Structure 1
């Protein structure tokens, strides 16, 4: 659970993060659609590549501002989230202290016993509540790329994705959990100049300072406040392209991991995820890049009942 009480499913699945034993994912093509293909790339980009169920990237990076270019070459929708662990704790602690608790809770939820499942999460160790969720990309569709800029403090991090396989198995347990050391040395980088400023609030919803038009955009995302929602998840922001057959109701329901059918492959019909900024504490700002074509889009947070909270905003890009 991402709160002082419980944190969400995010880390459950740091448990088996070594090899990809997924039998359902086909080998990925090297072809890729660059969402930000016409945007001027920043310097000193950190490359992340997923071909099936893994993060291929460096093991250490400087602290401060860093821009990540995440190329999803796989056939699954993914994201990456950066979890800053408390001092002295590593993925090995998750194996012994956390994995059994999450396995018990998630098994109960998938059996339809949500109340018992959430109660089981109360057995999580005290140190687990000290994990700081420090940003990352929003959800990104297969064969697409997400470019995201965040500011990181020195420390030990886990890079993870916890989208579910069709059988309910989490990507993290399939190998999508990579330790990342953020060094004391500062990168010296500066954040990009945004074209549109977004404010993200659990109390006030999603707002932005000007009309969104087609073409190159760099969005800043300021987290005005932060809190756990009914599924214990903090609010984040994801950019979504909606085709004519896309159901807003299906998308909203899918974004709730606590539903056994939520956050699970395949994504709802007509929905293409184009990145965003993952969970961050209140007061922080992250950035993401996009190249918008005419059509229907939405910003949405990974929380239940996002529309009524103002955390699901649909907009049109005109030709």
Structure 2
């Protein structure tokens, strides 16, 4: 009788060990709440490396995004605010007045931005999001260091959100974890030729794997944003608005309702966007080369 009781106890112990009831499994996702307002980004001061999910809520009255990038070694948010961010205002003033053209942007940066200023390492983030909405973006933080999270949309008067307070420093620390990305329902690819993906979907919550295949000209890799269209949406106006170098580009109010997306990510890498879609017309569109890098699609019952 005693042997039976001992055997039974061992069986129960083995059951708990294998099912993890005594020792809970480590978290498989690194979920981070990010909130934007006018003009602030609420985010944690530190994060571990690994797959990271931004649960992004926009409590502001304008569209915002939260892009994340790693600074050059030894630099901090103070260096960025002193030596890099202020350069963009006189650049836009020159473009607005006609004293500068788009061809002058590169030489202007070379003259006014220190060498380290455009050597950031883009990491991803959550794309453009309309006021009062929430979205989810997952990307890989594969290197520790000093990062900034930023929204550089422009206010209605043309002022950069960055200089109005929407720049925050995050320290990413090396960590051993078993974080895993979500499982995707669909894949969307971004290349110099455009965007490829499903053009008809059922309504509901979907997770998209966003794969970046090419590198555009300039210092920024591709991003991809999701917009809800209406019968009166002028796509040419949307494409113009997506380009921050245009006078009026990325300037509030946005011409469409944005639902999130994946921020700037290098070729060969990927991330995930999870969003709830109701019936209607939608558009995937990049901030870079928007007139080419876009894909309209429809959600049908």
Could you tell me the TM-score, scaled by structure 1's length?
0.80
The aligned length equals 270
User: Does the 8 Å CA contact 1:107/1:117 hold for their aligned counterparts?
Assistant: no
Deviation at 1:213, TM superposition (A): 2.4
Give the one of 290, 294, 298 matched to 1:312: 294
Alignment CA distance shift 1:77-1:187 (3 Å): farther
- Cα distance change of structure 1 residues 147 and 99 upon mapping to structure 2, 3 Å threshold: closer
1:298 counterpart = 2:283: yes
- Residue 50 of structure 1 and its aligned partner are, at CA, apart by 1.6
Paired residue for 1:245, among 226, 229, 232?
232
Aligned in 2, Cα 1:88/1:138: closer, same or farther, shift over 3 Å?
same
Which has more helix, going by share of residues?
A: 2
- Quote the Cα distance in structure 2 between the aligned partners of 1:209 and 1:266: 29
Query: Which string of whole-angstrom CA distances, capped at 9 and with x for unpartnered residues, describes residues 93-126 of structure 1?
Result: 2244324533432221232333385132122211
Match status 1:50 vs 2:36: yes
49-58 or 105-114: which moved more? Answer: 105-114
Confirm whether residue 220 of structure 1 aligns to residue 206 of structure 2: no
Tell me the alpha carbon deviations over residues 127-182 of structure 1, each in whole angstroms, 9 at most, x when there is no partner.
12321111011100000011110100211100000000111101111111000011
2:147 maps to 1:165: no
Question: Which stretches of structure 1, 4 residues or more, deviate above 4 A after TM superposition?
Answer: none
Aligned equivalents of 1:298, 1:186: Cα separation in 2: 38
Is 1:120 the counterpart of 2:102? The answer is no
Alpha-carbon deviation of 1:211? 4.4
Query: RMSD value over aligned CA atoms?
Result: 1.8
- 1:212 Cα deviation from its structure 2 partner: 2.7
Offset, 1:235: 2.1
SS at match of 1:80: strand
**What's 2:258 paired with?**
273
Q: CA distance change for structure 1 residues 186 and 260 in 2, over 3 Å: closer, same or farther? A: farther
Note the residue ranges of structure 1 that are not aligned, 5 or more in a row.
Answer: 1-41
Distance 1:92 1:297, change over 3 A: same
Equivalences for residues 57-96 of structure 1 within 5 A = 57-96=43-82
- Alpha-carbon contact 1:109-1:117 (below 8 Å) kept: no
Where structure 2 has 5 or more consecutive residues not aligned to the other structure, the ranges are 1-27
Picking from 88, 104, 110, the partner of 1:102 is 88
Residues 255-292 of structure 1 deviation map (CA, whole Å, 9 limit, x = unaligned): 11111111100112xx1100010101111111010111
Do structure 1's residue 235 and structure 2's residue 235 form an aligned pair? no
* Counterpart Cα distance in 1 of 2:67 and 2:85: 18
CA distance in structure 1 between the partners assigned to 2:86 and 2:229 by the alignment: 38
Bigger mean CA offset, 251-260 vs 122-131: 122-131
Secondary structure at 2:41 match in 1: coil
Q: Does structure 1 conserve the Cα–Cα contact (< 8 Å) formed by 2:200 and 2:298?
A: no
Q: State which of 169, 176, 180 in structure 1 corresponds to 2:170.
A: 180
Structure 1 match to 2:6: none
CA distance in 2, matches of 1:200, 1:278: 12
